[in-house]
Structure 1
Amino acid sequence: MIALILLHGRFKGEMMQFNNKWTKWLLTGLAVLILGGGLIFFGNFFAQNAGHTEQSAPSGHTKSKKKGLQISASNGANYKTVINDGHYKVSKARGVTASKNGNEFNMVSFENGLLNFSKDHFSTDRYIFQEGQYLNSDTALDWLGRKSKDNPTGLNPADNGKTDSSRAPIYLQTLEEQDFMTQKGNDLSLAGVVVGLAMNTQDSYQKEKYGATYRQNISKQDYEREGRKIAQSVIERYRKLPGIKQNTPIIVAMYAQAPDDSLAGGNFYSWVQSTSGSQLSKWHAIDDQTVVLPMEEGTANDKSVANELNTSFKNFTKNVQNFFPNLSSVTGQAAYHDKQLAGLNVTVTTQFYSATEIRSFANYLAQVAPNYLPGGVPVQIRINAATGMQAYVTKSADSTKYSVTILGSY
């Protein structure tokens, strides 16, 4: 019996030893399988991701492959423009003003008029347009400020402390630089600079902070006199800017801003050029005029350049008001250069709220506009409602067909 017990104990011990060995082998095998599978998994993972880094990103999220300088295409009537690394090269000082501009038409007519002026001096088929790159916004702000101990470069006169008509007004409201380049191979060279100076004909100010707004009229004699002084200083300062050579042609075009309550923008009235150093050529007059349509009773006369247009514009207004009675007003701005119509902007204010009404009305305007509005010049018709501009109808100078754009539509 004792022998049987000892034999059973030996057998049990050997079995336990055998089980321990098998368990070790099993655990070791599982560990190898898990480790091998993990290596295969992570190997595939990194291989796949390494492959993804070499593939292009999804459409709409790709980085531009265009590096360096490119030049946009042009139809001949407009300038080719400068593109840098796939992005339009914007102005370094665009939109900088001495004070808030209360007439939105001024900035539009100033920028558009300056570009049209430049086309008379730098042809679109020979030169490339570049937004101003030599005057930065900080310097422009200093120039547009009043001259003071803290701002010795201010082009506007120092504050004389007066708050009546004898106060020193802000003459220079804003300025804009346009650069014109020539291309040789992959290189661009500066061929000339045009600087527009917008002069106030009326200066708005407050006697105390958050107080009432007062308006000080500036005579033509005064803003022209001060404008010539400022133009001389601007040319002298531009000569000192990095990248501007002593023989780079610089043209300064003078613009008279319209008062804040005007229904039209201002006009360019003169220009001067410097071809070397700070020397200026003689001043040249610019015969520009902006006429608000319909003309008020008594303003239309035999000498007005807009008599014929005024008549057709009234007929246009009558037609569209008969078709759509929910109109608040129809006004226009006709731009003339050397007594020739250069462009027409029309603003139609409506009481429409329905998207279908806006669309139907815009399409109707595109249909009837050629019967009343002038050809051979660019025309833009803006349709405004209480919530803002809803649509616009436009045509180019060389077209008779109007195109319709409905804002916010899909």
Structure 2
Amino acid sequence: MKKKTVIFISLLMSALLITACSNTGDGNNSSGNTAKTNGTTSKKGYQTTGKTEDSDYQGVIRNGKYKASKARGVGITQEADNMLNLQSFESGLTSLSKNQFSPKKYVFQEGQILSRSTVEDWLDRQSGDNPMGLNPKDNGEKDAKKRNPMYIQQIEEQDYMNDNDGKLSLGGITIGIGMNREDYYQKEQYGSTYTSKISKEEMTKQGRIAAAKVLARVRKEKGVSSDTPIMIALFEQAPNDSLVGGSFYASTVSKNGNEIGSWKDTNLSSYTFPATATKSVPNDNDETSFEGFQNKIKNFFPNLAGVTAQGQYKNKSLQGMKVNITTQFYSQTEITSFTQYVAQAARTYLPTGIPIDITVKSADGSVQSFLSRDDGSGDFYTHVFSSY
């Protein structure tokens, strides 16, 4: 729970769920400027958050409070997880859902069907005390190649609601299942950490087995009918030492009963900028553009600890980029000037026609400023966080 809260705060302005403040504007926006929303909409028994763009979902507010997930904070079965997986998992699940549940038609609601205890049981190993565990029984082996690994790392539910004359009804469900390629474990408490490798073929097989079980169980939950559309998406977790989060690799939609539709490859993958010796980006032009941006701001402002980015590709086409810049600035005027310069350099050097978020942080991890651009705009919206 604590990890997810930290991520939410540090990426407040770049959240892709309900009211992402990605409105474009003058790259020289000063401290205190914020994106305007359409406001909340009164309904019978509930309100909605409003939204900044047609591509965003409106969220549900009941009794003046945002309708949070029943299983909030559940979804990590290992302590040594890559926190970037959380960000990629949540934002990616919402993006995939838009293909099935249009933001123009549906209202987003955090998962209300699966309880916290239910998700915890599903993520645990199957045992005499927990017959609902989706991960295999512990066979007692300690050797990395002989033990039964934990295949499933996280599960998340998202609900998509119909608005019928001011009353909400369930219109569809998305379930995300995070799958491990590497399972980290200890042979004894507080001992060294070991790794069981999981092949892509085995991950794919176990993911589909889990999906069928989850679908059958969700169908039995109260409020879910036999013809409620249920989308299931499978996510490949990135290793703990990865500089980027994982990616969704397949999805399917069940339109009736426990019948699984055909699986579709997403052809999505995440890459880090600058490229590493073991994993280069699919398009050299994108790498060249990032290097130009990186060199420009490093040369102008020497007090930088690092400039990195995560890009998501569909096949070989860059779909979006999240840039992280770590500074050693302390002065408010330095941060403001730097943010203005970054906006100019980003317009000049970074790839066009894709959404880009840029987060500027201090060495202690606190966010100093944020820049964002939609895919159809050339200018960046900017916000500098005040130091008081």
SS of 2:366's partner is: strand
Structure of higher RCO (CA pairs closer than 8 Å, 6+ residues apart): 2
Between the aligned partners of 2:83 and 2:73, the Cα distance in structure 1 is 12
Q: Which moved more, 1:151-160 or 1:373-382?
A: 373-382
Equivalence for 1:356: 333
Q: Which runs of 4+ in 1 moved over 4 A?
A: 297-300
Match among 227, 233, 242 for residue 222 of structure 2: 242
SS of 1:234's partner is: helix
Equivalence for 2:8: none
Aligned residue pair count: 343
Equivalence for 1:139: 118
CA contact (8 A) 2:305 2:363 kept: no
Equivalence for 2:152: 172
Bigger Rg, structure 1 or 2: 1
1:81 to 2:69 alignment: no
SS of 1:80's partner is: coil
Q: CA deviation at 1:306?
A: 2.7
Check 1:402–1:158 CA distance in 2 against 1; reply closer, same or farther (3 A cut): same
Between the aligned partners of 1:66 and 1:118, the Cα distance in structure 2 is 24
Between the aligned partners of 1:142 and 1:407, the Cα distance in structure 2 is 41
CA contact (8 A) 1:258 1:266 kept: yes
RMSD (Å) for aligned C-alpha atoms: 1.9
Between the aligned partners of 2:270 and 2:282, the Cα distance in structure 1 is 10
Equivalence for 2:34: none
Between the aligned partners of 1:345 and 1:257, the Cα distance in structure 2 is 18
| Equivalent runs, 1:181-192 vs 2, <5 Å | 181-192=161-172
1:400 to 2:378 alignment: yes
Q: CA deviation at 1:154?
A: 0.7
Between the aligned partners of 2:277 and 2:185, the Cα distance in structure 1 is 32
CA contact (8 A) 1:67 1:84 kept: no
SS of 1:204's partner is: strand
TM-score, normalised to structure 2, is 0.84
Check 1:189–1:406 CA distance in 2 against 1; reply closer, same or farther (3 A cut): same
SS of 1:388's partner is: coil
Letter in 2 for 1:400: G
Equivalence for 2:363: 386
Between the aligned partners of 1:205 and 1:406, the Cα distance in structure 2 is 42
SS of 1:76's partner is: coil
Between the aligned partners of 1:408 and 1:389, the Cα distance in structure 2 is 12
Between the aligned partners of 2:215 and 2:90, the Cα distance in structure 1 is 20
Give the structure with the higher percent helix. 1
Check 1:241–1:258 CA distance in 2 against 1; reply closer, same or farther (3 A cut): same
Q: Which moved more, 1:252-261 or 1:149-158?
A: 149-158
Q: CA deviation at 1:338?
A: 4.3
SS of 1:221's partner is: helix
Q: CA deviation at 1:67?
A: 7.8
CA contact (8 A) 2:74 2:119 kept: yes
Equivalence for 2:387: 409
- Give the % identical residues: 43
Check 1:108–1:387 CA distance in 2 against 1; reply closer, same or farther (3 A cut): same
Between the aligned partners of 2:128 and 2:74, the Cα distance in structure 1 is 22
1:289 to 2:239 alignment: no
Check 1:70–1:319 CA distance in 2 against 1; reply closer, same or farther (3 A cut): same
Segments of 5+ residues of structure 2 without an aligned counterpart are: 1-41
Q: Which moved more, 1:208-217 or 1:250-259?
A: 208-217
1:211 to 2:196 alignment: no
Deviations 1:233-281 (A, max 9, x none): 0000001111011111111100001000000011111112212221112
Check 1:101–1:110 CA distance in 2 against 1; reply closer, same or farther (3 A cut): farther
